[in-house]
Amino acid sequence: MCATVAISSSCNVDEEITAALPPEILLDSETGVYTVKQGREIVIAPNYESADGAVFCWTMDGQVLGTSPALTFKREEPGEYFITIAITTDGGTDKEEIRVDVVELEIPTVSITGNRNMTVATGTEIIFNASVRETSLPTATEWRINGEKRGEGLSYTFRPEEACNYTIEIKASNEDGTHSDTVNVEVLNAADMPFVWEFGRTAYHTVEGRKLLIRPSGVSDMEGIGYTWQIEGKGSVEGGSSFVFVSDQKGEYTVKAAATLEKEGKEITIAHEFEVTVYEEGAFYRAKGSASKADWNKVYEYTPAPGQFINELKTGGFDGTQTTPEAAIAYAEARMGEVDRYGNPYPNWVSLGGFGGFIIVGFDHSVENSGGYDIGILGNSFGGSSEPGIVWVMQDENGNGLPDDTWYELAGSETGKAETVQEYAVTYYRPTGPQMPVQWTDNLGRSGEIDYLKQFHRQEYYYPLWIKEDSYTLYGTCLEARNYDASGKGTYWVNKEYDWGYADNYSPVDRLTEDSNAGASANANHFKISNAIDFECKPIDLEYIDFVKVQVGVNAKSGWLGELSTEVFGFYDYNMKKSAD
């Protein structure tokens, strides 16, 4: 109940009696409606006239809220609240009903897109994106990593370099309050990830309009892994573990990729980023000059598979000092660069060992695509002795003088046949002791060994001395073996030839001679750049090439003769040979 105060109802001024004026409430809101947010106080303070000695009474739903000229009001629940203010004096009473709208706070709600729990490898770049519920108030955001402020805005790029557990938090704040969201990220070393998705390089080069395959060097064969690829600035696409990049415009492009596996409520992600440079066709063509030579001028890599002539000190020509890749290259250059006593070229052979062993050479000029035979490669094949090598060519697309661009296989007679395996891989393992066979496994689930032939050789190991790892993997195209035991007793083995398209192969087509080469001397097979194919086995138009690779193309052995092993003596630009004749 509001208190009342008795006051005189009239006054005497110069003996004249005058009546008191009635009070009047003057609200400070024209509409009589006040607004306040839940849990916040509002002070309602009207102005009053003729209010001397007044009694004030604020009521709501029959309950007295206050007896002062001003009312402090607060409610936790949003809604409309109707309040009456009454003022009473000797002159009378005035009342006004007001409405107080208690509205909800506009606390910003923030959410990070994606899974709440993640596992990634060190070095993986993760882009976290967040969204905030729109309010009428200015809102600020900040990102925190394990409590430490790292950024602002609605996007944050996280690239952890240390294996650890991280809490990624975003906070959104305005004058009404703060809200946050978190993601837990477990960062593991790559070797500890539950699946594998590895690449041997992060930078690629190609030419306008030419397809480039970005393919992993190692990938787990597991169900449930999703792969996403994105060219920066463009939308992302779902695909497989490999990606085909192509652009009709030169420039630099960033390709981002992620492999994701959902396991036990956790998102496991491996991410990679690649830089692709696209060049103009022919930008780095090197024309022949007056000093240009038809023969190869440099060995860039010599990585044979284990074999009976690897590290061999007699006919193999090794001396035991070939313990580095550089020394191995020097050995190959010296062998193929030998001359006779008159100073004329008299090249010696270099063995590439078992399947996948290879050698890469270059020229002092670009070898042009004439449409006919352009390249000659010397081997020592003869009737009944063919050890085919797959030939690959490369254009120096980025102009740096190194064979670090895209290899294209030269198609041969076996290309496209069901028996030919285009993407074959063999891993060789270092023997645990001297004069032991070299064991291998392949990507088809098979295994075997390179036999140690102690009746012919005495070097301790067939495993290359300059390869320091205890195993290494060689890749390439594998042909169906054609070798057989003609005697039926293991005494006479025949390594049958293939029709055309392979080095060290007694081809009736591309040897371009009727000579039977009964003495097993150096003789050439010839190759057309126009036979180049891409990873889809489709023709690729190369105007010229700068590098050539020969890779052993069969995984087989012929009894006491040992493994089939391509031998090369040299390489030359056949176009220059033809023009000189």
| Architecture in CATH of 194-279 | Sandwich (2.60)
What CATH number labels 110-190? 2.60.40.10
> CB-side exposure of 148: number of CA atoms within 13 Å?
4
pTM of the model: 0.73
Task: Please check whether residue 385 is in contact with residue 493, taking contact to mean a CB–CB distance below 8 angstroms.
Answer: no
Q: What does the DSSP assignment read for 492-521?
A: -EEE---SSS-BT---TTTT------TT--
Task: Please check whether residue 365 is in contact with residue 573, taking contact to mean a CB–CB distance below 8 angstroms.
Answer: yes
- Between CA 361 and CA 359 the distance in angstroms is 7
- Using alpha carbons only, give the angle 362, 382, 578 rounded to the nearest 5 degrees: 45
Q: Do domains 10-103 and 194-279 have the same CATH topology?
A: yes
10-103 homologous superfamily: Immunoglobulins (2.60.40.10)
Mean pLDDT per 10-residue segment, the chain (581 residues): 46 57 92 94 95 96 96 96 96 95 93 86 87 90 95 93 95 94 92 89 92 90 90 87 94 93 86 93 94 97 97 94 98 96 94 98 98 97 96 96 96 97 95 93 94 91 96 96 94 96 97 90 96 96 97 96 96 90 66
pLDDT of residue 232: 87
Q: Where are the domains of the chain?
A: 10-103, 110-190, 194-279, 298-362+386-492+529-570
pLDDT of residue 187: 93
DSSP 566: -
Radius of gyration of the chain (CA): 43
Cα-based distances in Å from 484 to 239, 390, 505, 552: 43, 21, 16, 18
